[in-house]
Amino acid sequence: MTTNYHHKRRAKSLITGLFSCSLLFTICFLTSCIDYDDVTREVSVDIQLVMPEEFTQGSDMEGHTVTLTQLNTSNTVTATTDAQGVASFKGIIPDVYSVSTSWDITPEEYTQLTGDPIVNEGAVVSGNINSQLLTEDQSTTPLRLNTQLAINRSLVIGKIASSGCKDNNNKNYVVDQYIELYNQSDKEIDVAGLYIGLVESNSTPAYTLPQLEEKFNNEVIMLKQVFRIPLDADHKVAPGGTVVIANCAIDHTVNASASHNLLTADFDVNDTRPKNAYVNNPDVRDMDLVYTYVSSLPIMNLTQGGPCALVIFRTDDNIEDWDLAYNYGKTSGNQWKVMPKKYVIDAVEILKKSAKGIDLATKRFYDDLDAGYANIEAASGYTGEIMYRKTSSRRGKDGHKILQDTNNSTADFKVSTTIGIREYDE
């Protein structure tokens, strides 16, 4: 037993020794392949920007900053791209680097570069390579840096509950109408001073699209009402947050089981008409009524089945100074506020559906505001149908939902009878 033990121990030592020699040889062999002079030899590197695929109308390649950051350090070096989109770096110490670039474009630049007139607050072009080994000259074969486009989304009209429903006695019930705004952006937004405009909704448009083009060069919208979120206090909305504006901020499920509890609405309208169904909730802040085409109508005049179009906008203008217009060719009757559409942040158009289909002749918006339309199924409403934006596959920086916004309400909106306030997935 003792003899066998010593034989086994000597054999194990021999194997260990051979493995150590082999490992030492491998290390020495690999080490001999490295030219340690390369560690201190500086290299030249060119970075070639590859613009986002959405830039279908060309792009300005010059003047963009590219940054190299040495791995596990705060050491950075920058270079600016030339007219071909190449950033040239000289005297780079061989090592592993992150490569990055980022710049902002304006809404006008976005439209010019993409050909897409979608309303936004500009966009960010960015590109990044996390770990790139730079040990050799790369001036004849530049390193390609792909870039992506991210729209700076701000507020959108996320939901429109205009159809009303039937109450517990099967009577028409419309006091539960509301709209909901959604903060798409990655930043907190103060909505104090934001305007909500309701577009005139005659069964025959006050101005057809050709008439708007003829008289106003397609630069205005005819508003029947304008409301404003009060300026007397900030109202900040977090990324992914909502603003619910109700005609009547009460629990409507008490009166209509198919309706909604709007006690948590952020704002409601101030309706003090006697013997009126629109109860003003004193615990909810009132919207400012800036203009209404009928002095006796202080509520949001959302047409149950349509047509019903609305915009959100900001301006420093005194809206009282905006022109008023009668229907095309008329000199009497209702008057509409003539709003410059350049102030629009978001716009949604709802058209009425009948047995004959959708009457596209009643559209108030050209494609630059809404290339499509939303609609409920019922011609007259009272079905509890709510139009809400679909959720896109994108997410904000903190993971919040980004709602679909292709500037086409036909593609962007869905209809539900069950979705609740501040919800965007059934």
Give the tens place of pLDDT for each residue, 205-215: 999 999 999 99
Give the tens place of pLDDT for each residue, 336-365: 999 999 999 999 999 999 888 888 889 999
pLDDT at 4: 45
Q: What angle do CA 341, 346, 347 make, to 5 degrees?
A: 75
Give the tens place of pLDDT for each residue, 124-146: 888 888 889 999 998 889 999 99
pLDDT at 119: 58
Distances 391 to 117, 173, 245, 401 between C-alpha atoms, Å? 21, 29, 21, 7
pTM metric for this prediction: 0.70
pLDDT at 27: 34
pLDDT at 291: 98
pLDDT tier at 399, thresholds 50, 70, 90: very high
How far apart are the C-alpha atoms of 322 and 338, rounded to whole Å?
A: 6
pLDDT at 118: 65
pLDDT tier at 29, thresholds 50, 70, 90: very low
Residue 1: count other Cβ atoms within 10 Å of its Cβ: 4
Least confident of 321-335, 368-382, 393-407: 393-407
- Is beta strand 43-50 parallel, antiparallel or unpaired with respect to 138-146? parallel
Give the tens place of pLDDT for each residue, 92-112: 999 999 899 988 888 889 889
| Amino acid occupying residue 179 | I
**Residue 38 — φ and ψ, nearest 5°?**
-65, -30
Give the tens place of pLDDT for each residue, 45-77: 999 999 998 899 999 999 999 999 998 787 899
**Residue 138 — φ and ψ, nearest 5°?**
-135, 60
